[in-house]
Amino acid sequence: MKRETMKNKILLTITLTLTAAVGLYLLMNARCYQLLGDLVCHGAGDRKHIALTFDDAPSEHTSDAVLAVLAEKNVKATFFMIGENMARHPQAAQRIAAAGH
């Protein structure tokens, strides 16, 4: 009896793991999904678009170089700014905002 119970537990564990893996795979590859809160969609599936994001902005050394390339290519990006970095480099933060990012 114990052997059959152990077999059932192992089979159940494998089944649940595979089901969860397939569910996560489908969720990660879905264009739109909603776990909690608002519906989340990822761009238009018929166009080749990407979202450019820059973390920990602004930076004394790289912000202006990045802004120059973005302006040259006529591309918009999202900058995730750190308050401490903004306090250290307020002009760079203003240039990022003025450029419409």
Indicate the domain borders of the chain: 2-41, 53-98
H helical segments located in the chain = 2-28, 63-73, 83-88, 90-98
Give the pLDDT of residue 42. Answer: 66
Q: What is the pTM of this model?
A: 0.56
What pLDDT is stored for residue 89 in this prediction?
A: 94
Cβ atoms of 52 and 96 within 8 Å: the answer is no
Residues for the chain: how many in total?
101
Please give the Cα distance from 79 to 76 (Å, whole number). Answer: 10
Instruction: For residue 42, report the phi and psi dihedrals to the nearest 5 degrees.
Output: -115, 90
Residues of the chain with pLDDT under 70: 1, 40, 42-45
- Tally Cβ neighbours within 10 Å of residue 66: 19
